[in-house]
Structure 1
Amino acid sequence: MWLMILRRTNQSSGKSKGVHSPIQPDVPFFAVGDVHGCDRLLDQMLQRLDGLRHPEALLVMVGDYVDRGEESRRVLRRLFVLSQAAGDLMHCLMGNHEQMLLDVLDDPQSNGPRWLRHGGLQTLASYRVQPVLGNGSEAQWIEMRDRLAAAIGEDIIAWLRGLPLSWQSGNVVVVHAGADPDLPIKEQETGTLLWGHPEFRQRARSDGLWVVHGHTITEKPRVVQGRIPIDTGAYATGVLTAALVEKDQVSFIQA
């Protein structure tokens, strides 16, 4: 089954799971997990979401559109075009892999080696840009950066730089990686939202917020301890997951 429904109501919340309030978004929305260069899965997912015929639901992407999979170029172009056409009906968040890509564009020699080790090679291949082999000289890293920037295009780079770190509807917030359970969302450090927090999966928040997130691969999407993890490792498992978040209900859709 590619559609699974889990419900949370006032009666079902319990201290043992740290659930202290029902899920109450102001508007229903689909949140799509980490795509990581899997454009064919993204295309399938978008078609399935469209087939559910839920005209009131917004679309939120949790980040990590690039790296590891083979189709990062297609993913970025698709999301850029869709977001420009959809306006406020679609929200794409920043992931740590988008930030790593931007860091490489800003300082290729310092940030390039790490990026290449964490999936950047596949992104370069999708743009037909040769990577720097070994340590490389500063000139080689700059040349790689310049070729990549030209291939991505100024419009998409500007769009990436403007991606927000979080999106909220009612008592449900969407971030890429996680949040410090002791701090309000507006006071979170950028690194925490992009890379996670050691206590995020250990303790539920005390402010009643539910957090939808990706970043950390989960075998099965679920509703647990104020969190809704939806990264099912599309590039490794071939399974991309989305959550339809509505009042008192979360539905998981997989492609």
Structure 2
Amino acid sequence: MLRSLLSRLKPETAPSAPNGLPRPEAPICVIGDLHGRADLLGKMFERIGQEPQGAKARIITLGDMIDRGPNSARVLATLHAAQLANPSRMICLMGNHERMMLDFLLSPDARTAGWLRVGGLQTLQSYGIAPPDPRETDPEVLDALRMDLARALGPDLLAWLDARPAMWREGRFAATHAGADPYHPMERQSRDALLWGHPRFGQMTRRDGVWIAFGHWVVDQPVADQGRIAVDTGAYETGLLSAAWLDKGGLRFLQVEG
């Protein structure tokens, strides 16, 4: 439903809202779902560097760093290093795919192994781990797979992944993976709503004037409307990675292809 709603909107600078679009002093750049496209991440970093204020921008990734695309391992290594090197400037949020992988690592069973069928196999391959049958449910096989993946990730990266926040907020601007419940203030959002979305997110405009940049829901082109800024253009499949650039001058979109 949300995809249908937003994909029909004309991609343009965000229209006026009851409380207006936030205009931060320092620029904010919000990058959509990466899904293992390390090549596009590198291109987006280069594109940000071309901006006059690129070196001062706070960069936010919206989660779903892993799965589906070919190089989840490199995406994680790149973002992990970048965030540790500059934690105040680089913000990496958690998406539902990171949550699914962590749940599998905590308790590998028939339920959590569903992660394998929605992109987990590609993440395993990026770490050199032979993927199992995606319908595998044997406890011993799944536990061995869990141990192989945990070793490949290593304790530092695992701890970093587990610590990823579900939301970043500054004033009337927020970034989450999948939107939020419009009935509740941002400080009272459930983690499920932030990671998996909420059915009312695309139907109701928030009354508090908060604009939310989000991924998860794929749109043909990035678009802003009624307090929502959609930037997931399905990079792993389309080869188009989008980002929202917000500064004192307003909102515009950056894109790279490959």
TM-score (norm 1): 0.91
What is aligned with 2:4? none
Question: Percent identity among equivalent residues?
Answer: 41
Report the more deviating stretch, 227-236 or 54-63.
Answer: 54-63
Report if the CA contact (8 A) 2:245-2:253 is conserved.
Answer: yes
- Partners in 2 of 1:25 and 1:160 — Cα distance? 30
Per-residue CA deviation, residues 167-225 of structure 1 (Å, 9 max, x unaligned), is 11221100000101010111111110000000101111000000000000011111111
Secondary structure of the 1:109 match is: coil
Distance 1:247 1:7, change over 3 A: farther
Q: Which residue of 1 aligns with 2:3?
A: none
Name the CA distance, whole Å, in 2 between partners of 1:137 and 1:240.
37
Do the aligned residues in 1 keep the contact of 2:113 with 2:137 (CA within 8 Å)? no
C-alpha offsets along residues 3-39 of structure 1, whole Å, 9 cap, x if unaligned? xx9445xxx52xxxxx212112443210000000000
Q: Any idea what SS the aligned residue of 1:232 has?
A: coil
The alpha carbon displacement at 1:112 in A equals 4.0
Structure-2 residue corresponding to 1:43:
42
Q: AA paired with 2:21?
A: I
Report the CA distance shift for 1:130/1:111 in structure 2 as closer, same or farther (over 3 A).
Answer: farther
1:140-160 residue CA offsets vs partner (Å, 9 max, x unmatched): 111000001101111111000
The answer to whether the 8 A contact 2:31-2:61 is kept is yes
2:158 partner SS: helix
**Counterpart position of 1:32:** 31
How far is 1:43 from its partner?
A: 0.5
What code does the residue aligned with 2:81 have?
Answer: V
Aligned to 2:87: 87
Structure 1 unaligned spans of 5+:
14-18
Partners of 2:212 and 2:248 lie apart in 1 by: 14
TM-score under structure 2 normalisation?
A: 0.90
- The answer to whether 1:146 aligns with 2:147 is yes
Provide the rounded CA distance (Å) in 2 between the counterparts of 1:131 and 1:237: 24
CA contact (8 A) 1:25 1:170 kept: no
Alignment partners' CA distance in 2, 1:220 and 1:117: 27
Partner of 1:119: 119
CA distance in 2, matches of 1:71, 1:109: 25
- Residue aligning to 1:75: 75
Aligned with 1:159: secondary structure?
Answer: helix
| Secondary structure at the counterpart of residue 182 of structure 1 | coil
Task: Name 1:177's counterpart in structure 2.
Answer: 178
Cα RMSD after superposing both structures: 1.5
Aligned residue pairs, count = 243
**Contact 1:112–1:141 (8 Å) recurs in 2:** no
Tell me the SS of whatever aligns to 2:87: helix
Residue 79 of structure 2 aligns with an amino acid whose one-letter code is: L
Greater shift, 227-236 or 47-56, is seen at 47-56
Separation in structure 1 between the aligned mates of residue 100 and residue 89 of structure 2, nearest angstrom: 27
Q: Supply the distance in 1 between the matched residues of 2:226 and 2:114 (Cα, whole angstroms).
A: 33
- Of 18, 21, 33, the residue aligned with 2:19 is 21
- Please tell me whether the aligned partners of residues 23 and 250 of structure 2 are also in contact (alpha carbons under 8 angstroms): no
